[in-house]
Chains A and B, each alone.
Chain A
Amino acid sequence: MLVGYLVVTVLLGLTFLVVKGFEYREKFERHHVPGAGLQFTDTFDDNGKKIPVNPNEAQLFFSLYFAMTGMHALHMIIGCGLFTGLAILAWKGHYTPSYFTPIENGGLYWHLVDIIWIYLFPLLYLISRHS
């Protein structure tokens, strides 16, 4: 059962990374990548008035977007690797009800990455959605 839970964690983590891959592809297709080639012509609504986005602000936002989600995705890849290792060791019988410290530590790492995502999600994906 422990092995099952660890494997499910890895699979869900990989699902998240696959979705992240689709998102990044869309960003590249729409040229929402910071640098000389950035094209971001959306406007935002200021009580009915459409205001074009300042291109410098768009550069800053997408730099932050890629830096933060990229760092988070890197930690998720590390986490998936850790849990795969834990699952293999658990399947070999290394962990008992009286010794499961590496499992707990892996869980703490994974929860920390999740807490980072809990803050990244509203701040990067939900800001200004009401406009």
Chain B
Amino acid sequence: MANHEEHTTHSQGFYLLIGITLLILTATTVGAAFVNLGPFNPVVALLIATIKATLVVLFFMHVKGASEKLTGAVVVSGFFFLAILISLSLADYMTRSWR
């Protein structure tokens, strides 16, 4: 294992800025929940949640600017397995009859 793990190190202020952005996005998602967007309410909620999760993965988990390409590959494979989880769960749920 390499002694120094990443080439880019951000300042404390940068991480604080990302944290404040996350708080602003949280306020946005709460506000958007009170607006009637019909079927788009869950879409907007999940979109904002995905933006927040992306910020956490890229910056707080040091994926952006990591010196190893393997780091990015591991993250992508995680999403792949999540896709399998969701599709198999939906395959069960959506093929049930409610009788």
With A111-B56, A114-B56, A130-B37 in contact, is A122–B61 under 8 Å at CB? no
Which secondary structure dominates where chain A touches chain B?
helix
Chain B: interface residue total (CB-CB under 8 A): 25
Q: Do residues A122 and B33 form an inter-chain contact, with CB atoms below 8 A?
A: yes
Q: Do residues B30 and A108 form an inter-chain contact, with CB atoms below 8 A?
A: no
Compute how far the CA of A30 lies from the CA of B48 in the bound complex, rounded to whole angstroms: 31
Q: Which residues of A contact B67 (CB under 8 A)?
A: none
Chain A: interface residue total (CB-CB under 8 A): 20
Q: Do residues B3 and A129 form an inter-chain contact, with CB atoms below 8 A?
A: no
User: Within 8 Å of chain B (Cβ to Cβ): is A119?
Assistant: yes
Residues of chain B touching chain A, judged by Cβ–Cβ distance below 8 Å, are 1, 3-5, 26, 29-30, 33-37, 41-42, 45-46, 48-49, 52-53, 56-57, 60-62
In the complex, given contacts A122-B48, A127-B45, A130-B35, what are 6 additional A-B residue pairs having Cβ atoms less than 8 angstroms apart? A98-B3, A111-B57, A111-B61, A119-B53, A122-B33, A130-B37
